[in-house]
Structure 1
Amino acid sequence: MDKGIFLCSISNVSSGNCSEDCGYCTQSSHYHADIEKYKFKDADIVLKEARLLKEYGALGFCLVTAGRGLDDKKCEYIAKIAKMIKDDGLDLHIIACCGRADLDSLVYLKKNGVDSYNHNLETSKNFFPNICTTHPWNERFETCENALSAGLGLCSGGIFGLGESWGDRIELLKALQILSPHSTPINFFIQNPALPIKQQTLSREEALECVVLAREFLPKVRLMIAGGREVVFGRDQKALFDCGIDAVVLGNYLTAKGDAPQTDVDMIKSYGLSIASVCH
């Protein structure tokens, strides 16, 4: 039975000034990218974003903070926002994405309205030191395990086109198989002048091969197309859905603009696809 395409939106609630040196991320303070920087977005603004995106059909709403991990201040802030959204009766699936997190913090978020935790493995364990030297890949995997132990849903995926081999891509997907997340975001690296990674954008054909491979390794996961889809595929994105994509990030990304939400909704419907009305 066709369950429809799941729509999820992102709110960048704490932007920039990150101490980590992830070579793909404009929020790193190491690279001085020209992005907006702020500590915590006003709670009322986040709530307005949630209400607006819900009107377009979003079922998931992800609260993202920059920085290595979830400290006490971030934990309280995310809990406050999640509770506010739940109390507003929007019936959104709330996802937190705040980097490294211990079990107690994740349990606290769950008690305050957070439904899932997003922490991407990004790439294979072996390739990871090529794109980040300030924290280990194992830390990412352990945070994903903590999310599961806390009873949260897990959203975990990666970025393709960082210079990794096909072998690295397979190792990433094997690691995700072990975690068995409910949702896996697929991102394509897009070059930024400030970043040290200078890989060319993947071709449409290679990007589709990555999607096909991900679906092969993760047949039951909600496979979500995220960053880079507009650059790689333009307005002709039907092949993504033909290859197994069943979820889309709707609206803007962390520091990059996405297409207007209604434009994406209209595009999906033009392919004869429906928009999911329930999370499961």
Structure 2
Amino acid sequence: MLFAELKRLHSLPFFELLKQARAVHEANWPENDVQLCTLLSIKTGGCSEDCSYCAQSARYNSGVEAERLMSKEAIMERAKAARDTGSTRFCMGAAWRGVRGGTQRFEQVLDIVRDVSTLGMEVCVTLGELGADEAKALKEAGVTAYNHNLDTSPEHYPNIVTTHTYDDRLRTIRHAQDAGMSVCCGGILGLGETTDDRLKMLEVISEFNPQPESVPINSLMPMPGTPLEGKEAVDGFDVARMIAVTRIAVPKAKVRLSAGRTRMSDETQALCYFAGANSIFYGDKLLTAANPAIEKDRTLLAKLGLGTLAPNPGMAAPACEEERPLSPCCG
């Protein structure tokens, strides 16, 4: 969807925007269920990148200690616990610039993925940059979806990250799609961006061919010691507007109400669900930031009469639309 149309939608009166988003949501997700995902940091801290929002960067004095890759046994224990508390997607994140085939750590990750994929959940990983061969290996090992967020607009991105480029991100997304994995790709609100930056990011995401299978909308959790530690909380109405526009722009994707939910009231979250959110990260921790407790989430979903999506580990990746160009590799 082009920027001009996204801006027109975003500028609508709030209730008119929600009305349109709700109609799109009900047309594409009539069951009105929410996907429950658990995110585990399997390798925390010590990252060489300089993402301004991230406490895991070795460049910042954030108090996050560098840790080695978790053992497969420990990860399997957490994955089983996630499954037993209702999560249908298990996402594993590692604080690396990227992975390279033939290395010990990549072989360890593939071995972990193979075992996690036997638990009946969808398997998602976020490991930084991917080459084409690494993407194929992850797919063959059992990865359902690859998470790689764009964070913000191409124009604002250099203000947030300098150790890799926007094109690097697009290239990784293309490799994941070419390998047959679904792509989970969204952004972060509250990085000092303008409304136009948010919509330009969404323009890029919505123009992917195929479109992402899921789109996380994160609100910045300012982490001590990072360059963005003093940023103010994102306004709840701004989050709901972005959820609504995303639902219209990427109608068949799961729109994930992601980081920042600890700062949201139940009423704000309910507004976001109405606007088109149908996925959350679920559990006590989201990488290095707190996350609403499991029982609190369950209680709110029950109050709203929302069900939960069943796992679909055999889910096929979205298909390309032949009349449109493929997602860009770069530029």
TM-score of the two chains, using structure 2 as the length reference: 0.81
Match of 2:59 in 1: 30
SS of alignment partner, residue 291 of structure 2: coil
Whole-angstrom CA distance in 1 between matches of 2:112 and 2:308: 26
Match of 2:154 in 1: 125
Give the residue type in structure 2 aligned to 1:57: G
SS of alignment partner, residue 110 of structure 1: helix
Residue 67 in structure 1 maps to residue 96 in structure 2: yes
SS of alignment partner, residue 186 of structure 1: strand
Give the residue type in structure 1 aligned to 2:298: V
One of 244, 254, 263 as aligned partner of 2:296: 263
Residue 41 in structure 1 maps to residue 70 in structure 2: yes
Stretches of structure 1 that go unaligned for 5 or more consecutive residues are none
User: Where in structure 2 are the equivalents of 1:214-229 lying within 5 Å?
Assistant: 214-229=246-261
One of 248, 255, 273 as aligned partner of 1:241: 273
CA-to-partner distance for each residue in 1:176-226, whole Å, 9 max, x for gaps?
Answer: 112211001110012223111232111112221221222222122110111
SS of alignment partner, residue 50 of structure 1: helix
Shift of 1:261: 1.8
Whole-angstrom CA distance in 1 between matches of 2:84 and 2:300: 17
Identity percentage of aligned residues: 29
Match of 1:203 in 2: 235
Match of 1:10 in 2: 39
Shift of 1:3: 5.0
Conserved 8 A contact 1:184-1:223: yes
Whole-angstrom CA distance in 1 between matches of 2:142 and 2:252: 25
Shift of 1:68: 0.9
SS of alignment partner, residue 269 of structure 1: helix
TM-score of the two chains, using structure 1 as the length reference: 0.95
Whole-angstrom CA distance in 2 between matches of 1:85 and 1:135: 30
Stretches of structure 2 that go unaligned for 5 or more consecutive residues are 1-29, 316-331
Whole-angstrom CA distance in 1 between matches of 2:32 and 2:271: 18
Superposition RMSD in Å: 1.4
Whole-angstrom CA distance in 2 between matches of 1:132 and 1:65: 18
Conserved 8 A contact 1:78-1:96: no
Give the residue type in structure 2 aligned to 1:79: L
Shift of 1:76: 1.2
SS of alignment partner, residue 10 of structure 1: strand
User: Where in structure 2 are the equivalents of 1:123-162 lying within 5 Å?
Assistant: 123-162=152-191
Match of 1:168 in 2: 197
How many residues are aligned here? 277
Shift of 1:166: 1.2
Whole-angstrom CA distance in 1 between matches of 2:310 and 2:144: 17
Runs of 4 or more consecutive aligned structure 1 residues displaced over 3 Å after TM superposition: none
One of 140, 165, 181 as aligned partner of 1:111: 140
Conserved 8 A contact 1:6-1:247: yes
Shift of 1:234: 3.0
Conserved 8 A contact 1:215-1:223: yes
SS of alignment partner, residue 266 of structure 2: coil
Conserved 8 A contact 1:56-1:262: no
Give the residue type in structure 1 aligned to 2:69: F
